[in-house]
Copies of this chain bind each other. A is one copy, B any other.
Amino acid sequence: MRSHYCGLIHEALIDQSVSVCGWVDTVRLQSHVAFVDLRDHEGIVQIVVERESEEAFRQISGVGYEYCLRIEGTVRRRVSANDKLRSGQVEVLAGRIEILNKAEGLPFALHENPNEDTRLTYRYLELRRADMQRKMRLRTRLVSALRHYLDERGFQDIETPILTKATPEGARDYLVPSRVHPGEFFALPQSPQLFKQLLMVAGFDRYYQIARCFRDEDLRADRQPEFTQLDMEFAFVGERDVQDAVEAMIRHVFQEVSGVDLGGPFPRMSYAEAMARYGSDKPDLRIALELVDVAEHVRHVEFKVFSGPANDPAGRVAALRVPGGASFTRKQIDELGVHAAKYGAKGLAWLRVDALENGRDGINSPVAKFLDDAALEGVLGATAAQSGDLLLFGAGDYKTVSDFLGALRIKVARDLGLVENAWKPLWVVDFPMFEFDAEAKRFVALHHPFTAPKIDDVADLRANAANAVSRGYDMVLNGNEIGGGSIRIHRTDMQSAVFDLLGIGAEEAQAKFGFLLEALRYGAPPHGGIAFGIDRIAALMAGTDSIRDVIAFPKTASAQDLMTAAPSRVPGAQLAELHVQVVEPADR
């Protein structure tokens, strides 16, 4: 239907006949001539219709915004060039105009920015925007670059089931009732974890899949019920083999798709160091601020809020120095307290250094009076506080203090413009094998129950479970965990022991993971892998905070597709066939 794309009409075509198809971006009718900006995915070209072309001029007089047109005409040089357009040196003098489809009045003009619900309801219109086209096409290039890289290196792209068995990865499963087997359900996979391990048992050696995964979680800011990961697994490897291979891949695709040099090799940091210095297992290294432990300086004070955790092996007392933070108003400091509370803080102690040289008189702080001179000097020294700084304190159990001071670190850096414009990847390694869940009084897996411990002996692991380190690793970029993986357990005895330590009894293990335990009996090879969050990486590359910008048809925060109106009620007969019925909530 067309000889060229609108956006690619250029000077070499001058005097040639072309046909183009696209949408009316703007139309300006004058008495003897009409101008149309016609748009396709490559860009815009100006169409000129002169009154002398009677039929064409009659046609163009009737068209409106977002009409879909086909134009035959001749390329000529524009009188006044538009340097903003690639095609801005030329225009098409229309000979023939075909209205391919009319457009009614749009619910919003493409340059407007109505609320997200409206944009998602008419997603097919929002996607017409040049910036949305750019973001979505960047995602396509990312995925394509990853595939080409892996295809060239012998990785097997193998599809694993979507209708599968419940796999407990810490989130709720979406369930699918079986029609053929009454009362039974499939689950949608939270990841292809066990299938990819079985592919290693099956001898596929190198596997990848751009895999759709599903988690029925209460949606936080930027989660989706279905999301996409680059899932990978390698046989006969240790952690450095996997890390080196995928680091090279990520470096390659950032260079190829975005022209970004991630440098390398990526720095490596232990989980313990990341928590200590940044209060996070996914530290944003673009921010220079660090947490400073000050327990040793406050162990002796009367103030129990500090001295309690300072003397508790499971506690933490730390400070975050905010350079120039003394200029914060009381209101701003209160807001920081509110922010910290979201991450578990019960309060936020602070200390303003107005004039260091004035000693106690130069300090403004609700807690200073609880600190004797030794404590005060110790804290100021440890944090290297300067006049004009603000110190924020955390005291309590180690995890909570780290979490909220880590969150404050990011917030104040953003507020003060202290986030470097850079790409800062790193590996976080040496995760604890288990976390002790004080409430449930049992261990939970920090990665997942198939992650191998560094200790290779079952008895040793049992004896040192609380301090055991896993063979897991995360790739972190600018504060985002973009990939997570591990070397897996490949022996039945070790897998059974880990299930046991996690409180998964032999019977439950058999019911849920019997097929894995069985598969490990038949010469399963050592193996390991990783999964990357494609949505997040695409969003980072596209320079957007929201993964919704790089998903064609995303769902809302309440897990709805506003465009198609899903989920929706279904006829009772359909449910009857599936052997289920709806239980209306009591409050309805």
Contact = CB atoms under 8 A, between A and B. Distances in A.
Interface of A: 1-2, 21, 23-24, 39-41, 66-68, 70, 100-104, 106, 122-125, 127-128, 133, 136-137, 140, 143-144, 147-148, 151, 156-166, 172-188, 194-195, 198-199, 201-205, 212, 214, 216, 225-226, 228, 235-238, 241, 490-491, 514-515, 518-526, 551-553, 555, 558-561, 563-570, 574-585, 588
Contacts of A159: 212, 228, 551-552
Contacts of A216: 179
B100 A525 contact: yes
A575 B199 CA distance: 31
A566 B165 contact: yes
A491 B158 contact: no
A2 B236 contact: yes
A90 to B, nearest CB: 21
A215 to B, nearest CB: 11
A203 B158 contact: no
B568 A579 contact: no
A369 to B, nearest CB: 49
20 contacts: A1-B237, A21-B525, A24-B523, A66-B522, A100-B490, A100-B526, A124-B519, A127-B202, A127-B204, A140-B158, A159-B228, A163-B225, A163-B561, A165-B561, A175-B570, A180-B560, A183-B584, A576-B583, A580-B582, A581-B581
B238 A1 contact: yes
B178 A567 contact: yes
A570 B178 contact: no
Given A144-B157, A161-B226, A576-B583, A104 B521 contact: yes
A424 to B, nearest CB: 28
B203 A558 contact: no
Contacts of A163: 174, 214, 225-226, 555, 561, 566-567
A18 to B, nearest CB: 14
A42 B24 CA distance: 56
A84 to B, nearest CB: 20
A232 to B, nearest CB: 14
A487 B484 CA distance: 44
B140 A564 contact: no
Contacts of A579: 582-585
A156 B183 contact: no
Contact of A185 (B151, B524, B567): B567
Contact of A166 (B177, B179, B526, B568): B568
Nearest to A524: B101
Contacts of A184: 567-569
B584 A583 contact: no
A511 to B, nearest CB: 8
7 shortest interchain CB distances as A-B pairs: A127-B202, A103-B523, A184-B567, A165-B566, A68-B523, A178-B567, A165-B564
Given A159-B551, A162-B162, 12 more contacts: A1-B526, A104-B522, A124-B201, A140-B158, A166-B568, A175-B177, A175-B575, A182-B582, A187-B566, A198-B553, A579-B582, A580-B581
A182 B100 CA distance: 43
A102 B24 CA distance: 68
Given A175-B570, A584-B183, A585-B579, A128 B158 contact: no
Contacts of A194: 564
Contact of A174 (B21, B176, B563): B176
B188 A41 contact: no
Given A176-B176, A515-B564, A523-B103, A156 B140 contact: yes
A30 to B, nearest CB: 23
A224 B566 CA distance: 25
Nearest to A99: B523
Contacts of A21: 235-236, 525
Given A151-B144, A156-B137, A522-B125, A568 B165 contact: yes
B144 A553 contact: no
A36 to B, nearest CB: 13
A163 B567 CA distance: 8
Contact of A181 (B2, B567, B583): B567
A410 B228 CA distance: 43
Contacts of A558: 180-181
Nearest to A520: B101
Contacts of A143: 157
Contact of A578 (B1, B125, B175, B552): B175
Contacts of A179: 172, 216
Contacts of A563: 198, 515
Contacts of A202: 123-125, 127-128, 552
Given A1-B238, A101-B491, A566-B163, A195 B148 contact: no
A555 B185 CA distance: 14
A169 to B, nearest CB: 15
Contacts of A140: 156-158
Contacts of A1: 236-238, 241, 526
Contact of A133 (B178, B203, B235, B523): B203
A184 to B, nearest CB: 4
A38 to B, nearest CB: 12
Contact of A195 (B40, B136, B226, B553): B553
